[in-house]
A and B are shown apart, each in its own frame.
Chain A
Amino acid sequence: MKSSGSEKKKEYDKMVQNTSPKPKLLINCVKAFVVGGAICVLGQIIINVLKYWDFNKDDAAMITSMFLIFLGSLFTGLDLYDSLGEFAGAGSIIPITGFANSIVASAIEFKKEGYVLGVGAKMFTIAGPVIVYGTISSVVVGIIYFFFGG
């Protein structure tokens, strides 16, 4: 019985592999490339406008992130970012606008559980791990840099 069970599992895996379309990878990649690239071009435009207004490089980059986060939040709230996500996949997840999307989408979804344990807690479902692992890596880099770098 056991062996036939595992055989069935193998059969099923094969079936899944066959039905999961492989050529889709190429078209998915093209979409991700174009949308992700376009969001970065938008970021570059904002940076250049800010530099034109005499902001220094660091401030321009910082304000650009904040503005893109604002746009990502707004378009998520308007229910438009999800449609973009269905089309673009990683092209909408990887840019900083996707980080904002992950926060707003979970915050809105769990609004019914209240403003503290719903919105306040659940908004970090995906953004939380990013901040946790990002901060820890930065401490590791900082300590190594202190002892061995510079």
Chain B
Amino acid sequence: MEYFKAFITGGIICTIAQVLMDRTKLLPARIVVLYVVLGTLLTGLGLYQYVESFGGAGATVPIIGFGFALGEGVMKEVDKEGLIGAFTGGLKATSAGITAAILFGYLAAIIFDSKPKK
């Protein structure tokens, strides 16, 4: 059941993005940015927590879940550290992901070369 919920939740989130891609002139990069901002704000409003508790990885694996991690992180840090937490919480909570992306991205760029486009 957990896997089914993850599948449905993740599927719906990707389908909404697909509709935006096909029906509006929004470029994928803008949709991804929109999703992150939306995820952060919905988490700030206390709404995305419901999506996460229902969908599990279906809610956290899509890029909107990156916004969720930012929002959760910043609120936890404000609870602990006060106003300074507003400046440290977001990146603290997502530091592992950002570091992994930079490290693996860099390694992949060293190891692999661009293939000529078919």
Q: Which residues of A contact B (CB under 8 A)?
A: 24-25, 28-29, 31-41, 43-48, 61-66, 68-70, 73-74, 76-79, 89-91, 93-96, 98-100, 102-104, 107-109, 111-112, 119, 123, 126-127, 129-131, 133-135, 137-146, 149-150
Other than the given A69-B104, A111-B114, 4 more pairs (CB < 8 A) read A31-B18, A64-B61, A98-B32, A103-B101
Beyond A41-B7, A64-B57, A100-B104, whether A141 also contacts B75 by CB under 8 A is yes
B contact residues around A144 at 8 Å (CB): 44
B contacts, CB < 8 Å to A: 2-3, 6-15, 17-23, 28-29, 31-33, 35-37, 40-41, 43-44, 55-58, 60-67, 69-71, 73-75, 77-79, 82-83, 85-87, 89-91, 94, 96-98, 100-102, 104-115
A–B complex contacts, Cβ < 8 Å, 16 sampled: A33-B18, A36-B13, A38-B7, A40-B61, A62-B96, A66-B96, A66-B100, A89-B21, A108-B114, A119-B109, A129-B33, A133-B37, A141-B44, A146-B82, A149-B75, A150-B78
Report the Cα distance A130→B89, complex, angstroms: 17
Main secondary structure of the interface of B (DSSP, over half): helix
CA distance A108 to B108 in the complex (A): 8
Total inter-chain residue pairs, C-beta < 8 Å: 272
Contact B89 A138 (CB under 8 A): yes
Q: Are B6 and A40 in contact (CB under 8 A)?
A: yes
* Residues of chain A lying within 8 A (CB to CB) of residue B32: 93-94, 98-99, 102, 126, 129-130
Q: Are A68 and B61 in contact (CB under 8 A)?
A: yes
How many angstroms between the C-alpha atoms of A41 and B67 in the bound complex? 20
Query: Which residues from B are CB-within-8-Å of A40?
Result: 6-7, 9-11, 55, 57-58, 61-62
